[in-house]
Chain A
Amino acid sequence: MTLTPFNLMLMAVLGLLGVGFYGLLVTRNLIKVIVALQILVKGGMLALVLGGQAGGQATLGQSLAVTVIVADTMVAVVGLALAIQIRRRFGTLDLSALSTLRG
């Protein structure tokens, strides 16, 4: 295996996906969950661009990556707004505390 820029990008994809997945599993703060999700999606977006280039359809991968960026931003917007409302209503952003709330 030779070390090329393409292979380095693949390693970046793997690193970002791994770190984002780990973050999603261990994080208890609602805003940090969104941060972990963003990291995960950045890895996926890089993978789409790389996959498009590897498959000979670079523009297809890039257009899908743009769609992913827009959708991910909307997820972040709605998620942050929900986090603000949850903080106002319950006074905490801790997921373990929220899961034990009633009503």
Chain B
Amino acid sequence: MANLIVSMLLVVVAVICAARAIAAERILSSAIFLAAVSALTAVLLYMQGAYQVAAIELSVGAGLVTVLLVYAISVTGDEIQEAGSIVPRTLAGILAGVMVLGLVGLSLPLLVKGGVIVAAPLSGALWGQRVLDVWIQMVLIFAGVLGMLGLLTEGKPEMLQSRSRVVRAPSAGTLTGSAAAREEVRR
């Protein structure tokens, strides 16, 4: 019974935090509420017996993603969201409600039948049966890191172009490569 009450509290607080993350005016508040949702989801996963998934969600979802969000907000500025939305809020609410009702219809057999919570070891399945998933995750991580490095680089296109072409200096001969770039910076 106590387990049920704790689960109910966690579910209610997680959904409220998610709603607050969407409704908050400041982006930083949204990021903090998202971190709370991640942490609560990790606790729910732990209670489901998915211990490894809970640990990964807590470290990656509540930790890494929050740090990245705060960094992005510190760079772009904590803007206050203006009123109004691309899709009217009423229509969006109706669409979201229809989607939830459809999902309730799909999961009704499970709701009636109920399910059994099983604590299963993940490592055997992950390294024994789903090795391809692990390799794909490694490739994804490297691709993400490389993509982030490439996108965050503060390169100036005109500077990069000037390094590769030959320019003629006003007083003496021709300058190439880094000499041309230095000349441009000096100007």
Contacts and interface: CB of A to CB of B under 8 A. Distances in A.
Grouping DSSP codes into helix (H, G, I), strand (E, B) and loop, the B interface class, with mixed when no group exceeds half, is helix
A12 B15 contact: yes
B53 A58 contact: no
Range for the number of chain A residues in contact with chain B: 35 or more
Nearest to A42: B41
Range for the number of chain B residues in contact with chain A: 35 or more
Given A5-B7, A8-B4, A39-B34, A77 B68 contact: yes
B72 A17 contact: no
A49 B48 contact: yes
**Listed residue (A23, A64, A65, A66) with the most chain B CB atoms within 10 angstroms of its CB:** A66
Nearest to A60: B125
Given A19-B22, A26-B22, A49 B53 contact: yes
B31 interface: yes
B144 A35 contact: no
Given A15-B18, A42-B41, A80-B68, A10 B117 contact: no
Contacts of A95: 86
B72 to A, nearest CB: 4
Contact of B37 (A6, A42, A66, A82): A42
A87 B74 CA distance: 12
B161 to A, nearest CB: 17
Contact of A35 (B52, B53, B69, B112): B69
A74 B141 contact: yes
Nearest to B151: A81
A73 B86 contact: no
A31 B73 contact: yes
The 9 closest A-B pairs by CB, nearest first: A59-B125, A81-B151, A74-B144, A25-B92, A15-B15, A23-B22, A6-B115, A22-B96, A58-B120
30 contacts: A2-B114, A5-B3, A8-B8, A10-B110, A12-B10, A12-B11, A19-B18, A19-B19, A19-B96, A22-B22, A22-B92, A23-B22, A26-B92, A32-B81, A39-B18, A39-B21, A45-B57, A50-B115, A53-B116, A54-B110, A59-B124, A60-B125, A62-B52, A62-B53, A62-B120, A63-B133, A70-B140, A78-B147, A84-B151, A94-B82
Interface of B: 3-4, 7-8, 10-11, 14-15, 18-19, 21-22, 27, 30-31, 34, 37-38, 41, 44-45, 47-50, 52-53, 56-57, 60-61, 64-65, 68-69, 71-73, 75-77, 79, 81-82, 84-87, 89, 91-93, 95-97, 99-100, 103-104, 107, 110-112, 114-118, 120-122, 124-126, 129-130, 133, 136-137, 140-141, 143-145, 147-148, 151-152
